A and B are shown apart, each in its own frame.
Chain A
Amino acid sequence: MTLLSVFLEDTTALLVALPLLGAFSAPLVGKVSAKARNLWVIAIMALAELAAVSLLVDVLGGNPHFYAVGASDPALPSAAGFPFRIVLVADAMSALVAALAMTMALLSVIYSLRYESGNEGLEKYYSLVLLLAGAMMGLCLTGDFFTLFVFLEIASISSAGLIAFFSSAESFEAAFKYMVVSASGALFLLFGVGMLYGQYGMLNMASIGDSMAAQATFVDLAALSLLVSALLLKSGSVPVHMWKPDAYQEAPPQVVVMLVSFALLSLYLIFRICFSVFGAMVFPAIGWTVAILGALSIFVGVVMAVPQRNLRRLIGYAAIAEIGYVMLGVGTSLLAMHDSTGVGMSSMHGGIFHMLNDAIDMGLLLLVVGAVTYATKRQELDQVSGLAHRSGALAALFLIGVLSIAGLPPLNGFASKVIIYESVFRINPMLSVIGILGSIMMLAVFVKIFASVFLGAPYKGCFRKIPRSMLIPMVVLAVIMIFIGLFPGLVLERLVFPAAEALLNQEMYFGGVL
């Protein structure tokens, strides 16, 4: 057996284990020198990214992975007759989100090499970043409810630490607010998990889904609504969105990129729980709730983005609106899953596709705004102007991000939003109209920023040169965006359709574990 085949066989577990190893060894390596620490962190992240991509390629080849931690066979039942093991599941959907979250984490680590280089205590910063990355991998791949709770808590504790890391009074305030929301959300999640355990006596998602009767009981529905509301809290949808602008304003921009993927992962978990576990029994009221909250998030997000003067805070509100689009897709697909017209299917495609695009678009905008802060040491909208004269590349990158997030044609944001509008329109035209109006207002907001930050008389203040390690992640994201925008059909067919297929195919999901 070659090393490569061992690597491929255990990628699922390595994906969680590698960042954790890096997280706990980073402070030790940091004792040697800062350079060794940076190299070590980058090496670990690159290896994990390699694992994520090879896992995705392998899974898309029609070969889902089921990995039982501490056993050779996931199907091995316990003495009680059902699987009592921790199972990691990588099907087309979870491998896709894992690869996405890992890519964003790798880019954010590369970006922070120079962005944070002036600060002290960076080994602790890298520990937290790697811990967050490992916990996100766990969230993507976990096959049982309790591990889900544990990884969710690891992710929220480490992101709270990161929000407060570069201490200022405001950042502690933002982190405290974030912690209150996410800790109470996690308690509700645990309560829902406890209900499911009381009903079925197990925690494994596949075996719970398998033993559910055709008709959901009251306890099932109560548990499902607790789980969904807890995950919506984590994703920062209206009405519990207030932690988001604070956290996005105070955390360093490359960390916010990871927070965006964490928020999207909670929507992925809603997908996973509703379709893979509960399957046909999902109550339409839950679909309506998610869709209407999505429309409200779009509305509140763009309306509140208009008066903002702090660039990062503004992007925080825009992120609430963007989450709303994914929620519209998720909610509509829950509503119309068994519709013969295929509306549910296409809105699911739209939701998954927009998940990809949202992470990439928000990532690019945040990194550009971070670069503006790095170069000028300012982040108020009216303190900087005319930056296009100093750095044309930055202006071009920002423009690409703006056009994509507003959903204009040759870019990726357009492709996914159109699918969502079309399918939502057939369920309820009102929701679709809110979505389109939100998109237009988003364009107005961002064009205003572009004009005031990049256009105008040349910027007079001091302007630090943007280092290459910060430009590379932005350029990579922009290239991916243009690629997806030019070939949306290819991405849909190769990545999104198999992912939706994997979510709906409950037999495959149960069969691998039982």
Chain B
Amino acid sequence: MMSMHYLAVAAILMIGMSALVSRRNLIKIIMSLHVMGSAVNLFLVSLGYREGSIAPIFTNAPSLQMVMPAPQALTLTSIVINIAVVALMLSFAILIYQHYGSLDPRRRRLSG
């Protein structure tokens, strides 16, 4: 059953990537990046998962079979970084909309 996670990761990653290259709206591009980020986070969490184990808190632990703590720490960090990236990109999108009056990346001036 372990491979279920990885199939889900692959599916979400594919959805994100296809949206990233096919959408023509800055907000949707940001959303697809965030979807890809969630896929990677799911991947990290499922790496450390062990069937039937408890959260890795040693105080009064009923058993020593625990999920691995390191991937969870990584995921927390990566969630925070993702939020920063998305917030920054959304603010760029707002400013671009103010200047060009459109969220379509084809209406632009830098090219060639």
Q: Which residues of A approach B to under 8 Å, CB–CB? A: 84, 146, 149-150, 153, 157, 160-161, 164, 167-170, 172-177, 179-180, 183-184, 186-187, 190-191, 194, 197-198, 201, 203, 246, 249-250, 307-308
Contact = CB atoms under 8 A, between A and B. Distances in A.
Contacts, number: 87
B110 interface: yes
Contact of A174 (B81, B84, B85, B110): B110
A164 B36 contact: no
A157 B85 contact: yes
Contacts of A187: 33, 36-37, 40
Given A150-B81, A198-B47, A249-B110, A176 B92 contact: yes
Contact of A194 (B37, B40, B110): B40
24 contacts: A153-B84, A157-B84, A157-B88, A160-B92, A169-B96, A169-B99, A170-B109, A172-B96, A173-B96, A176-B92, A176-B96, A179-B85, A179-B88, A180-B29, A183-B85, A184-B33, A190-B44, A191-B13, A191-B43, A194-B47, A194-B74, A198-B47, A249-B110, A250-B110
Nearest to B38: A187
Interface residues of B, number: 32
B110 A179 contact: no
B70 A179 contact: no
Contact of A179 (B47, B68, B92): B92
Interface of A is mostly: helix
A150 B75 CA distance: 12
A153 B89 contact: no
Interface in B56-112: 68, 70-71, 74, 77-78, 81, 84-85, 88-89, 92-93, 95-96, 99-100, 108-110, 112
A172 B93 CA distance: 8
Nearest to A178: B92
Contacts of B40: 187, 190-191, 194
A190 B109 CA distance: 33
B44, B71, B85 — most chain A CB neighbours (10 Å): B85
B81 A153 contact: yes
